Each structure stands twice: as C-alpha cells, then as structure tokens.
Structure 1
C-alpha cells in the first residue's frame, strides 16, 4: 500500500499564492479534502482527484475535526494519495498537530507543505507592514477562538496588552467583544489603531480602519463583516491608506464577466485580474472538432495544388494543422502555398507550427484582408479555413474577385445554452459591472442566457460588427476595442473606467 497524505497550505485566498510544491503534490493526489478558506480554483491542480469540501461558513455544515481525520485516514488506508488543503499555513491555527498525531499513530506517511498565512499576506496585500523599523519590532499571532470547554483562557491578556509590537488576531469575529474588552481592561489603550482585513488577497478584499474600542461594533452581525477576517492591532494599522496597493488598483471592486470559450478565457481574464477586477467566466461558445473531417482531409491532401490558404482564427489554425499531423503529413505540405491570416494572434498560432503568414491586414478585419487579396487571387485556388458558422464575406468577396474558393469547416462553433446558476443570479441582481463580448455569436448567446439582465451591465465590445449586434439586441455598448484585439479590449474598458 503506497498511501500518502500531504498537508498543504493553500495560502490566504489568491490562487496564485500556492507554492510550486503544493501545486505539484495536488497534481499527484487521488482525493483532496479542502476547507472553506481554500480557494476552489486550486482544485484545478488536481483535475482527476475526488474533491471533498469539509465545510464552508454560511454555505454548508463545518465538519468536526474528528470527522476530517476519519475521512483522511479512510482514504489513506485504502491506498489513496490524499491532499489535505488548508487555508493559510498548516502550522498557524490550523489544527495540523491533531492530524499529524493521527497519521503517525496509523503509520501513514505524510508531508507538510507551508503556505502563506493571513498575517503575512496582509503585509503585502493590505499595505500593512506588521513589522516596521519605527513602529513595531515584534509580532504576536493570537487566536480569538480558543478550544471550547476550557475553564479559563490560556492567553495572558495582561502580557498581550503590554506587548511592544503588533498583535494579529485570527478567528476573532464572533468573540470580538470578549478579546477587545480583555485587552482594554488589561491596559491596552482604547484608541489603539486597528485594521480589520476581510478576504485578504482576494479581488474583493476589504480593509476597515478603526480604534480598538470600536472593533466589537464593527464586527457585530449587523455590520455583516463575515469571515475570513484578521484584525491587526498597533501603530502599523494606520499605514493602510498610504500603502494599500491592492484596493487602489484601477478595476478593484469591478466584476467583469468573460464570455470566451473556456480554454481561451484566461487571455482576457488574467489582465483584468491584474488590474484588480473580480473576473467571472461564463463561456458563451463551445469549440470542438467538426462533425466530419472529410472536407478538411480532402483540402489537406490537395495542398500541393493550392495557391492560398486563409485562416480566419487561431482555432482554425490549431484544428487544421493538428489534422495535418494526424494524417501523417508535416509542414512541408505548405511548400509553395501562400498563407494569410485575419489577425496577429492567428499569425502567432501559425508561428507555433513554424509557419509564417505572408499576409495580415493592419486592422484585423476580414474586409481588409479581402482588399489586400483582391488583386492577387483571380484564377487562383484558395482554401478558406473557418468555423462551422460565421460571416461569409471572405468566400463571397474572393469568389467575386475570380478566385476558386474551397471552404472547409475545421472546427465546430456551438452555443452554450445553460449559464452557471451563480452567474445568472449575479446578473439578475445587478452584481456584474461589465460583460465582455468578442463576437456577434457570443453576444447573441449571452443574450439568450442572461436575457434582459444583460442590460444591467456595461458592455465592452471587441469590434464594430459585434457592437452592432449588441445594439440590435436592444443593449448599449459602453466601449469598443480599437484595434480589435484582447489587449485593446482591456484598455478600452480601463480607459472608460478612469475617465
């Protein structure tokens, strides 16, 4: 039996803060037990594993520690590799000692992988240096939620009140009245600066500044500051307004819906996240192989007799050239053939196969490509590689210019018909600030999924043609990319937000 348990620190929330070792071990796992403080995006590192949530505040029952240990041991005893994904660092208020003791008694091998704990994350993400040359030379990490059933606190509140540095309180939301009173009664000044940091490192991070004697009121249920929260106490808390870079990013607080196919969404989602936006991904279109490869195969076999091959998208490049290789050919099949692409990204996809585009229009429009080809295709044979649907302007215009055009559908292009329930609810309640639309088909599909709630969001469009479709659907276009690239789409959205 080759069982193994990895106790992995998930970090404070941002999935990019997982260690390389943590990602590597997640990829090896057969089952992942994760808590509510672990970002579910981290589960993408373990796509083939069984994912078991052991509880999340406000959404489902929190498992007892003995239940978590029993579940972990059950899978390990069955010879499975188990990842126990724990928010923050396993060694900081994470009850790792109890899990390690149980594993040791059972004779099961384990490894502990550090993670970034919330106190340290706050130093970087909330602009609060928990140590400071002039203000704090020491830090104390304190739990605000001790073991239930204790007859008295194990914490020396008198010593903590006199502590000459920064206090960081973990898990102190529901007990705020108790620990703030204990500090003040033992000599801590009521006007001591405090920073309350909620969901540190997430795109919806919040930082609240107040005095120590105001904390209990701020964390009362009526104010709805829900966990996860850490409270930083001391002079360094006053630095949040000048050093809080995360909440000062230009798109912080904006929720943007990205509607590209799932394997292409990150090209748009990543720069938006980098600017501070909360990004939701709801693909409007599914990309897949054609229903029948016959016409693609025939076009590939006839390449030696063709004069031009035109690619309308990166997807067309990928599917067509992958098929070339699957049929036992290689890039020599394109010897003597001129290659044209609608845009630079499509040309870059060609370059991945060590092919160079001979022609790319300056403004990345099909109409411009036709204008540049018109005087060169009369009497020529042209293969047009395209999706299963889309505009026919290239085929019609090139045929009118005297070309012998063969259209081949290299990939299917179908609508997603059912949106994610949480995204639909967010749209219906006006919680989506922006919707990005990159084609007419995408716009139509999103409108079918979201209906009238689409009108509650601002719309960023990739091109005039997409914009016209949006208007035809009865919606307003807020900004439009120029030129028609993903980078320009992000910049147009940013420019409007800053204007």
Structure 2
C-alpha cells in the first residue's frame, strides 16, 4: 500500500488497537513516518465452532450461492473466513454472481481470489470506505427481485441490509466468525497509556471504542489522549461517552488514519 509521503509524525506516540493479524501494516506505516507505535488489540476475531447455529445456516446459504445475484464482503476478516467456506463448495465462483467489497483493504484481500470485484473505490471518492459509499454505487440503486448475501461476523450494524432491502432486495447473512473483547487485566490499558505517554489511540470501529471505554473510561489517563476514529458515527459515540479529544478519519484505512493523526497537535 502506498502511503502519502506528505505525512510526517515525529514525536507522536500512538496506540494501535487493531486485531492481531490486522495491525502490522499500520504499525509499520507509523514508524516509517517518525511516530512511536505500540499495539494492544482491543478486538479478537475468532472462528465459529462447528456446532454453532450461525455457521450451520451460513453453510446452507453458501451451498445456494448461485441463487444470489450479489455477494458483499464487509471486511478483510469476512473475506478470509467467508472465502474459506465458499471455496469448500464452489471451487469456481458461480457465474452471474457479482462480488462486492467495502473498501480498498477488503478489495485487495478479495482480489487474491481472482474475482471481478466491485467496490466503492471504483466509482466513489477513493477516500471513502463505508456502507454508505457502497450503497451509492449505480448498480445497487434498483434491486427489485434480487437476492443479496452479506458475508460478515456474527452481529453488527444493520444499516447496509436495511438500505438494500429498501431498494427491493431480499438480504441474507453468511456469518462466518465472531468478535470478542480483549483479555486484559484490570488497569492494564490505563497503565499502558501512562507508561508510554500515549497521546493518540486509533480505534477502528464502534465495537473497539466500546472495549476501550470499558477498560479506560474518560478520566485523568485520557485527558491528553486523542482518539482517532473512522467515521462520523463513531466520533459521535466517542463524544457521547465523554471523550473530549476526538479526530475523525475519512475511513479506517492506513493512509486515512495517518492523515488524521497529522491533525493532532504534537505533545
């Protein structure tokens, strides 16, 4: 991934909270532009047990993949877990089923499967990687009579499905993994902020923000910490929880995160 060379972050001390297998790109990028960076995952991505009802239902829907007109992958994790399932039953992607990805990282992961991907970056401002951007695609405006499968983890926001349903689609989910909060000792996260004099924390979702709040609510340890969040929705959640210093990135991607960090006054 090419990182904007204009960004320089000397002296910034950043805590990255992405899951274990999703943090390295941002950590490397931060160090490349002069920041100090530490990693404390605030979300775990776990496979579903074989006897989980959600996984059994997802297998049934994937067996019927050729009955859907469109399949939407909402994250890199959805690609990793979903395509592993799909590949078991569909060695060749079924014809006339169009795969979609939300965002550049998800599209890049899906491209490794050599599929004809559609994603917001191809027809919407390339800085935008959201459900709203996907819904702006011209070919998703009229879905009367179509079936759409959304590949995701268990639970999550319903706004994408609601938007597709309003346009006439019948929407199903293939839920292929689950998210879990971090396994941290009481006070561990607050101690980490103090020890490294962290002045910026990158939070990539509302769920990650909730886990941060659970372990580190607004208080003395967060007075000089700026939260970098990926959307207006998550920024509002952070303000509602009482955090005073919040910067909204244009999306959850690495370059957008670096640009948002550039807005922070260096301590």
CA shift in 2, pair 1:483/1:262, >3 Å? closer
2:15 aligned residue (257, 278, 287): 257
The Cα shift of 1:485 comes to: 2.2
Q: Distance in 2 between matches of 1:383 and 1:337?
A: 10
Query: How far 1:374 moved relative to its partner?
Result: 4.4
Match of 1:366 in 2: 131
Q: Does 1:338 align with 2:98?
A: yes
What are the residue-to-residue correspondences of 1:307-322 with 2, within 5 Å? 307-322=69-84
Determine which structure has more spread, i.e. the larger CA radius of gyration. Answer: 1
1:162 — aligned with what?
none
Structure 1 stretch 354-363 or stretch 254-263: which is displaced more?
Answer: 354-363
Does structure 1 conserve the Cα–Cα contact (< 8 Å) formed by 2:231 and 2:249?
yes
CA distance 1:329–1:483, shift in 2 (3 Å): closer
* Alignment partner, residue 490 of structure 1: 258
Structure 1: runs of 5 or more not aligned: 1-248
- 1:250 to partner: Cα distance: 4.5
C-alpha distance 355-419 of structure 1, shift in aligned 2 (>3 A)? farther
8 Å Cα contact 2:72/2:150 also seen in 1:
yes
Q: 1:415 aligns with which of 169, 178, 181?
A: 181
**Residues 447-493 of structure 1, C-alpha deviation per residue, up to 9 Å, x if partnerless?**
11122333431122222122111111110344222255221111221
Task: Name which of 224, 228, 235 aligns with 1:467.
Answer: 235
CA positional deviation for 1:303: 1.1
Whether the aligned pair in 1 keeps the contact of 2:103 and 2:119 (CA below 8 Å) is no
Distance 1:414 1:483 in 2: 22
**CA distance in 1 between partners of 2:112 and 2:100 (Å):** 15
The CA distance in 1 between the partners of 2:110 and 2:95, in whole Å, is 14
1:401 pairs with one of 149, 162, 167: 167
Q: What is the TM-score with the length of structure 2 in the denominator?
A: 0.84
Per the TM alignment, residue 378 of structure 1 is displaced from its structure 2 partner at its CA by 1.1
Does the 8 A contact of 2:58 with 2:173 survive in 1? Answer: no
| 2:91 counterpart of 1:323 | no
- Greater RCO (Cα-Cα under 8 Å, separation 6 or more): 2
CA RMSD of aligned residues (A): 2.4
Distance 1:419 1:344, change over 3 A: farther
Aligned length, in residue pairs: 249
> What TM-score, normalized to structure 1?
0.47
Provide structure 2 residue ranges, at least 5 long, that are not aligned to the other structure: 1-6
Q: Which residue of 2 aligns with 1:351?
A: 111
SS in 2 for 1:451: coil
Measure the CA separation in 2 of the matches of 1:458 and 1:328. Answer: 46
